[in-house]
Amino acid sequence: MFCTACGNQIEDGQKFCTNCGQANYESKTTANPQMGIDPPPKKKHPIRRYLFSIIFAVILSAVFNHYFSDPYSNILGITSMREAYDYAQEVILDELLAPSTAVFPDFKPEFIKRHSKNLTYEGIDFYMYTVTAYVDAANAFGTPIRSAFSVDIGLPVKRSDYQYYHELLYFE
């Protein structure tokens, strides 16, 4: 290592130059200033990297909130799908002759399809889902049968509306 003032060679870890007495605390470089070789510049604090990371996180958060703004859903949308499925079961129970005998299959996300467009009905905006599944229930003669159904379900965009929309597409 060399002294930064006079260029005299000094041992590593030595705090002062033995030739000129200059304190040697700046750099542990092997470059000799008298030979015209400059030590490499010190790295600056990576402010740009931190700033870029923060801006990226804010933009990602805004995009995420825009596309997943359904107040009923978690990240996968399972909460709203489950609510649509439960409400579809209520609609079908109203159609059955013996609703107490009804047995619906366990909830599966493939039973639900989220529409790309919302519906406005009587001044209320609804997130729309189509529920297609089946129910096992007794008919008028007590014989158990399996009936397929499809129901359009609307969940209100504003939770404060407390109103649902449904349209029975088919029930066989």
Query: For the chain, what are the domain ranges?
Result: 1-41, 78-171
What tens digit of pLDDT does each residue of 138-150 get? 988 889 999 999 9
At 85-125, the pLDDT tens digits run 998 999 999 988 888 999 999 988 899 898 878 888 888 88
pLDDT at 67: 53
Region 50-74: mean pLDDT is 68
- Residues 9-34, mean pLDDT to the nearest whole number: 68
- C-alpha distances (whole Å) from 150 to each of 101, 120, 126, 143, 153 are 19, 20, 18, 22, 10
This model's pTM is above 0.85:
no
Residue 71 dihedral angles phi and psi, to the nearest 5°: -65, -10
| Eight-class DSSP state of 39 | P
* Per-residue pLDDT at 27: 46
Output phi, psi for 166, to 5 deg: -145, 150
Confidence of residue 76 (pLDDT cuts 50, 70, 90): very low
Q: Is the pLDDT of residue 23 over 90?
A: no
3-state DSSP call for residue 52? helix
